[in-house]
Structure 1
Amino acid sequence: MTTQPDRGGELVPRPERTPDAVRVALARVAPHRLDEMDKNRALAAAISSNKAGHLQHWLTHWAAEVEIERRPDLSARRGRALAAIQGTAGRNDPAFRPAMDELRAVEEEAARAVSE
Structure 2
Amino acid sequence: MTTQPDHGAALIPRPERTPEAVRVALARIAPHRLAELEQHKERALAAAIRSRRIGHLMHWLDWWMREVEIERRPDLFARCNDALAAVHRTAGRDDPGFRPAMDALAAVEAEAARAVDG
Give the TM-score taking structure 2 as reference length: 0.90
Task: Show the counterpart of 2:16.
Answer: 16
Report the AA paired with residue 14 of structure 1: R
* CA distances 1:5-46 after superposition (whole Å, capped 9, x unpaired): x99410000000000000000111111111111222211111
Q: Aligned pairs, how many? A: 111
Unmatched 5+ stretches in structure 2: 1-5
Uncovered stretches (5+) of structure 1, i.e. residues with no partner: 1-5
Task: From 85, 108, 111, give the equivalent of 1:106.
Answer: 108
Cα shift at 1:102: 0.5
Identical-residue share of aligned pairs (%)? 70
For 2:75 and 2:17, how far apart are their aligned partners in 1? 21
One-letter code of the match for 2:91?
Answer: A
Separation of aligned partners in 2, 1:95 and 1:44: 38
Q: Please, which of 69, 77, 82 is the counterpart of residue 84 of structure 2? A: 82
Matched, 1:29 2:29: yes
CA contact (8 A) 2:8 2:75 kept: no
Structure 2 distance, partners of 1:7, 1:102, is: 18
> Are the structure 2 counterparts of residues 98 and 59 from structure 1 closer, same or farther at C-alpha, using a change threshold of 3 Å?
same
Alignment of 1:64-83 (within 5 A): 64-83=66-85
Contact conserved, 2:83 with 2:105, CA < 8 A, in 1?
yes
Could you report, residue by residue, the CA deviation over 1:83-107 in whole angstroms, capped at 9, with x for unpaired residues?
A: 0010111111111100000001101
- Structure 1 runs (4+) deviating above 2 angstroms are none
Letter in 2 for 1:91: R
TM-score by length of 1: 0.91
Q: CA deviation at 1:62?
A: 0.2
For 2:16 and 2:114, locate their aligned partners in 1 and report how far apart those are by CA, in whole Å: 15
Aligned partners of 2:55 and 2:105: how far apart in 1? 25
